[in-house]
Amino acid sequence: MIVRDAVKEDLAKIAALEKIIFDENNFPMSLRNLRYHFKKGNKIYVAKIDNHLAGYAVIFLRKDYARIYSIATNPDFNGKGIGNLLMKHIIAQHSDKKYISLEVRSDNTRAIKLYEKFGFKVVKILPEYYDDGCSGYKMKKIFT
């Protein structure tokens, strides 16, 4: 199991997984969108098991903070520690920033548990943040 920076050839597989994992209410990233962020220098990490794409994360970089825009485990590999591995990698790579932020659906217990485990705290409730009316949480892990 390894985590590394994505290369251009990984993007189509990530876009395919985004489509499977996130429905239209949850803003899946298109291949075009992924290519744009890849070119712009935002970070995309992939977790690989043998040659399979087991998970990925898309991180937007700002001056003071990093924002986890998308993180997911390939459904074939759920519950096998991929989320843990990606979070550890993200935190190690971006602990030079003031904080890492993210938004999550308030009904996404699995993801919230993962984020809490790594020290993220809810800093804001975002009413009707998602297209189906579900509220969101803005969460942050603050370094210092």
Ligand X SMILES: CC(C)(COP(=O)(O)OP(=O)(O)OC[C@H]1O[C@@H](n2cnc3c(N)ncnc32)[C@H](O)[C@@H]1OP(=O)(O)O)[C@@H](O)C(=O)NCCC(=O)NCCS
Torsion over CA: 118, 137, 79, 73 (sign): negative
Bin 4: left if φ > 0, else alpha if -120 < ψ < 50, else beta. Answer: beta
- Give the range of 1-9, 35-43, 59-67, 105-113 binding ligand X by CB under 6 A: 105-113
In the shown chain, the binding pattern of residues 18 to 37 toward ligand X, with x for contact by CB under 6 A and - for none, equals ---x----------------
Among 45, 56, 69, 115, the active-site one is 115
Q: What is the DSSP letter of 6?
A: -
Q: Does 106 bind ligand X (CB under 6 A)?
A: no
* Residue 103 annotated in active site: yes
Among 3, 29, 34, 71, binds ligand X (CB under 6 A): 71
| H helix intervals, the chain | 11-21, 31-40, 82-94, 109-117
Nearer to ligand X among residue 63 and residue 93 (C-beta):
93
Residues carrying an active site annotation: 103, 115
